Amino acid sequence: MKILIATFFGTVAFLFGMIGLDILVHDQTLQEAWRGSPYQFMHSLAYLIVLAWDYKFVTLIAFGIATAIVLVRIVPEIRNQH
């Protein structure tokens, strides 16, 4: 559940960051930035997927490390082994 909450808040923070950058860097109004944010978010997500596909080996290593961290945090027997 904590992972879902962190993912949600991370996504919201990314959206607000994109909107803020559009306003400050690209000289857009708040309405223009808000209207373009879904398209820009989908474009960023697609670019992330393309990067993950291009760097398959690095993605697999990062996914393995993240899975190991989640497993160690969930299962106390693994964490307490010496």
For 21-40, the pLDDT digits (tens) are 888 887 888 888 888 888 88
Token digits for 38? 């879904």
Helices (H) and strands (E) in the chain, counts: 4, 0
In whole angstroms, give the CA distance from residue 57 to residue 19.
Answer: 32
- Higher pLDDT: 80 or 5? It is 5
pLDDT at 69: 86
pTM: 0.60
